[in-house]
Structure formats: C-alpha cells, structure tokens
Amino acid sequence: MGKNVYKMYINGEWASTKANFTDYNPASGGIWAEIPDGDRDDAKKAIEAAAAAQPEWAAMPHPQRANYLLKAADILERRQMDFVNALIDEGGGWIGKGMFETGYTPGIFRAAAAAVYQMIGEILPSDHGKVSMVVRQPLGVVTVISPWNFPLLLSSRGLAVALAVGNAVVLKPSEETPVSGGLLIAELFEEAGLPAGVFNVVTCSRNHVADVGDEMITNPTVGGISFTGSTAVGRQVAAKAGEMLKKACVELGGKDALIILDDADMERALNAATFGTFMHQGQICMSVERIIVDESIADEFIERFVEKVKTLNTGDLREMPNVIGPIINQRQLDKIHGQVTEAVEQGAKLLAGGTHEGLFYRPTVLTNVTPKMRVFQEETFGPVAPIITVKGVDEAVALANDSQYGLSAGIITRDEEKGLAVARRLQTGMAHVNCSSVNDEPHIPFGGVKNSGVGRHGGKASIEAFTETRWVTLERGGRHFPPPFVVAPKG
C-alpha cells in the first residue's frame, strides 16, 4: 500500500507544516503515512479559529446543529472501510475490532445529536417572587486530547457532545493514530458542511506534544478539556487545568479485575476472561488485567482458559481468525515483557505465551501471582492474564480493591443478588455482573475513580462536563431593600 501524505485541518482549511512525522504500521514496521508535525503556533491558530466560530455555532437553531452530527454519522457509515483500513494499518487492530469501532461510533454522533435538546435548565422557586432560572451554556472552546487504542471511538466520545451543546472543538489525536483518530474525522465534518473553525484537528509528533498539549490547556480562550490517555499524562493535564480553574474531564488507565465466584457459570467466566483480556491485545483501558478466581473452581477454570488462549491466532489482521495483532510500539512491548519476566522471576508460573515475534506478543497466562508483583499492581496494557486464587467473596473484594486504579470490573456468579452486592463494594466507576469489565454504550456515564480519572464521558454526563451552569433571575418588584438604600418615589 502506498504512503499517504496528510495535512492538518484548521479553520476549514487543510494546512501543511514545515516538517512531517512518520506514522508507522506496527504490524509490518513499514511507513504508512506522513503527518504534519504541528507546533504551539498551530495549536494557537486552531484555538483562535474555534473561538471566532463558536458564538455563531452556539446560536444556530438546534435542529441545524444536530443535523451536522447526523450527517457525520451517515458519512462515517458510507466511508466505513476507509476508517477500518486506517485502524488496521496505523493502529495494529484486528479487522473485527475495526468493524466494531466503526459500527459503534455513528451511535456516538447520533446520541450527541439528540443532546442538543437536552441542554435542560430549571425554574426554581424564589424567596422574592423573581423568575429564577438555572440555564446551561457551552464552555466556548473545548480541546480534546485522545489516545491511540480506540482512536476513532475515543476522539469522537470526547468531541461529539462538546460540539452538540454549542462548543467549538480543537482535537489533538495521538501521534500513533493521527489519521483514524483525527484527520479522517475532519474529512467527515468537512463533507457534512460544518462551518469553518467549529472543528479543528492539530497533529504533532512526540517532540512537540508537550508544547502543543500545554497550549491546548493553558490558552486563556480554552474553556474546558477532554483528555483520554495514561494516568501519568492525565495527572499533569488535570493539574494544569486545575491551576487555571478550568473544567477537565480526564479518563485514565485501569487495572480491572474479573472476579469469578465459586458458583460461576464456567462458560460465561471463560468467555468474559478471554474476550476481556485479549480483545485488541489487551490494549483497552477497561481490559481485564487481573483474574481473581475462587479456589474451589480455579483448577477447572485455569485448565480450560489456557487451552482456549492457546488457540488465539496472530497473523494478517485482515483475516477474521487472526484476532491478536501487534503491540502498538516497542516501548509498550518492553513494558509488557518486563512485567511478565519480572513476575516469573518472583515465582509466577507461565502457562502460555511470554514470547513475541516482532511486535506480536503471544497471549500470556500467569498463575501463582501475588499482589506485590508489578503485573498485579501496574497497568500492563497488553495480552497478559495474571490469575490469583482466593477463598470466598470477602477476600475477592479486598484483593480487587487493592489497586491504585478504579475504572471497571466484572463479577461472575449465578446469584444475581450476590453479584450486585459485590458490585456495590468495589471501588470502581463501573461494574458489570456476569460480564467482563469491557463494556461501553454511547449514552452511559463512562469513567473511573482513584487513579483512573475524574469526570464522566457520555450522555447526560458529557452535557454536564462540557457546559457551565448559570443562575439567571428576572426581578418583578418583590425584592425589598433595607429602607436607607431606597429612594423616595418621584413626585
């Protein structure tokens, strides 16, 4: 496949920069595209364009604003394979993952279109007989910084409702997936006829990301920030935003537990564990990263799990059976392999995987894992299943909560009441009984607690995140001032 040369999208125009950076295909190691290496000035220009376009955008009648999002959804469906190809080639995703992501994202745009009618305020009773209103208004310019693992879905989740409620947006996709996570989305909105400046995409390499990122947070015109990515970077983003008293919604890393209780349906447990751990090579924020299984059923679970894991194929990602793609880059692969080898040195048993060819890491199963190991405590973001056995519900809950993270969780049990009771005891933003931790829908409040982030994306939560609440009153003569302040009526 030939190399593609891209431009950035600022103020409705395609712009090049002095230098480009290379977008690699992680499966082949080859160069896939050349991308503009934007800098602080480009970010500034995009923010200025957004600020200029925003008032008219916010004043536009609701159905018109909604219509752009509906059109973008339709165009995405028509151009599905352009996105799927980019998700495979620059993102290292299996074709089934690309089909899922491109099938899901139009729903994000359509749910956002409906949000134009959900900027709902309140009329409050007033002590003074005023008309007392609570209204919502857009933040102005919202910047969106997104990761590479589900680039189309996660960029769209950050920007769609922000646009719908009347903000203008500047998006900076990850340097690993600038096309599927940004430039193709700009093409959608351009074709939909979105007014210039309402949506902008700035791309840059790792060399410029500190500067570009800083501008996107600290520029005084920026009213709010949507960040999805690692805890380390998200913490810096939230700190900068906090210092400037700006709203920031930060969705960060995870170390999600799948708890398999003694009365679990075994097939359900095996399916949830296999999908939850290995979908997209474990590179999902809410991947199953710890399997906590009751000792009474652990032997059967481990034997059947390892048997299944050994059947997961790697290979040409355009073929359906090859469900395991490459790790996104060498840095990530080294981190994964480091955690696995260290765990084995510390006494963990390797029952599958633990090896790699190029960036393709074999699905890996570890038993005899202890809570002190890094593979139990730190996010792995790879195809690794650390298994730990426990006795009873209390031990399982305590172990699941023994984490700096708190994104999602899964609980497998035939007793639904017990499952919900465990869900309530877990320190996570999300919990799923009889399913894996990997679940999302466009309208739900997605997000975590502890080091997994602050704020929620999706549906009503996104409206809250990307608007300001204001109190506006209309005085009608009922408010009395102290007599010394009051003038005598004229005449």
Closer to ligand NAD by CB, 140 or 254: give it. Answer: 254
The answer to whether 386 contacts ligand NAD (rule: CB under 6 A) is no
The least CB distance from residue 175 to ligand NAD, in Å, is 5
- Kindly name the residue from 251, 289, 379, 464 that is annotated as catalytic: 251
Among 228, 364, 389, 451, which residue sits at the site for ligand NAD (rule: CB under 6 A)? 228
As measured in angstroms, the least distance from the Cβ of 237 to ligand NAD is: 6
Catalytic annotation present for 48: no
CB of 240 to ligand NAD, least distance (A): 8
CA angle 206–98–378, rounded 5-degree value: 50
| DSSP states along 286-303 | T-EEEEEEEHHHHHHHHH
What the block records as the tokens of 100 is 């899922």
CA distance 456 to 438: 16
Q: Is 41 helix (H, G, I), strand (E, B) or coil?
A: helix
Nearer to ligand NAD, 146 or 364 (CB): 146
Told to check if 100 binds ligand NAD by CB under 6 A, we report: no
Min dist. Cβ of residue 451 to ligand NAD (A): 10
Residue 155 binding ligand NAD, by CB under 6 A: no
Residues pairing with 168 in the sheet: 141
Token pair for residue 297? Answer: 């059923």
Beta-carbon contacts of residue 491 (< 8 Å; ≥ 6 apart): none
Q: Please report how close the Cβ of residue 468 comes to ligand NAD at its closest, in angstroms.
A: 23
Pair 279, 287: CB distance under 8 Å = yes
**Toward ligand NAD, which CB reaches closer, 230 or 427?**
230
- The contacts of residue 29 (CB under 8 Å, 6+ apart) are 358, 359
Q: How far is 26 from 22, CA to CA, in rounded Å?
A: 12
Which window, 67-75, 226-234, 255-263, 473-481, contacts ligand NAD (CB under 6 A)?
Answer: 226-234
The 8 Å CB, 24+ separation contacts for 304-310 are 304/266, 304/270, 305/270, 305/273, 305/274, 305/365, 305/385, 305/387, 306/351, 306/352, 306/365, 308/270, 308/274, 309/274, 309/278, 309/352, 309/353, 309/363, 309/365, 309/385, 310/352, 310/363
Determine how many CB atoms are found less than 10 A away from the CB of residue 193: 9
Among 27, 165, 248, 252, binds ligand NAD (CB under 6 A): 252
Which residue lies nearest ligand NAD, judged by its C-beta? 213
Residue of 101, 215, 285, 379 with catalytic role: 285
Residues 6+ positions from 70 with CB-CB distance below 8 Å: 109, 110, 113
226 binds ligand NAD (CB under 6 A): no
User: Other CB atoms closer than 10 Å to residue 443's CB: what's the count?
Assistant: 17
Rounded Cα gap, residues 274 and 279, in angstroms: 8
* Among the listed residues 158, 187, 24, 2, the one whose alpha carbon sits nearest the alpha carbon of residue 91: 24
Choosing from 36, 253, 325, 354, the residue that interacts with ligand NAD (CB under 6 A) is: 253
Phi first, then psi: what are they for 390, rounded to 5°? -140, 170
Q: DSSP secondary-structure letter at 178?
A: T
- Identified binder of ligand NAD from the candidate list 182, 381, 410, 411, rule CB under 6 A: 381
For ligand NAD, which stretch binds (CB under 6 A), given 26-34, 129-137, 139-147, 466-474?
139-147
Both structure tokens of 303: 């034997």
* 429 near ligand NAD (CB under 6 A): no
Q: 108 vs 269, which CB is nearer to ligand NAD?
A: 108
Active site residue 289: no
Among 363, 453, 455, 458, binds ligand NAD (CB under 6 A): 453
Of positions 229, 383, 442, 455, contacts ligand NAD by CB under 6 A: 229
Site string for ligand NAD, 310-349 (x = CB under 6 A): ----------------------------------------
| 301 lies in the site for ligand NAD, by CB under 6 A | no
Q: Quick check: 213 binds ligand NAD (CB under 6 A)?
A: yes
Is there binding between residue 230 and ligand NAD (CB under 6 A)?
yes
Map the footprint of ligand NAD across residues 156-185, applying CB under 6 A: 172, 174-175
Interface residue with ligand NAD among 26, 98, 147, 354 (CB under 6 A) is: 147
Catalytic residue positions?
A: 251, 285
Give contact residues for ligand NAD (rule: CB under 6 A). Answer: 145-149, 154, 172, 174-175, 209-210, 213, 228-230, 233, 236-237, 251-254, 285, 379, 381, 407, 448, 453
